């Protein structure tokens, strides 16, 4: 079945199904981003910033 499947065929199929691919990409992003967003919103504690940025300036 895939003996003669080329990269051009792959891009053609991606282009034909672009609406479904965009919807799937949005759904995947939401599934990944929403739990992190909820965790960040519900977190009441703040961390103390003790980073010394002068070390990043010197290369």
Domain boundaries, the chain: 1-42
Whether 14 contacts 21, CB under 8 Å: yes
Which tokens belong to 46? 């703040």
Helices 18-42 and 7-16: crossing angle, nearest 10°? 70
pTM: 0.55
pLDDT tens per residue, the chain (59 residues)?
667 888 898 889 989 999 999 999 999 999 999 999 999 888 877 767 766 666 566 55
- HSE on the CB side for 53, CA within 13 Å? 1
**Residue 30, pLDDT score:** 95
């Amino acid at each position: 079945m895939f003996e003669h499947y080329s990269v051009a065929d792959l891009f053609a199929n991606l282009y034909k199904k672009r609406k479904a691919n965009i919807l799937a990409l949005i759904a995947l992003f939401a599934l990944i981003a929403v739990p992190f967003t909820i965790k960040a919103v519900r977190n009441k504690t703040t961390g103390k910033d003790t980073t010394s940025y002068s070390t990043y300036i010197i290369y």
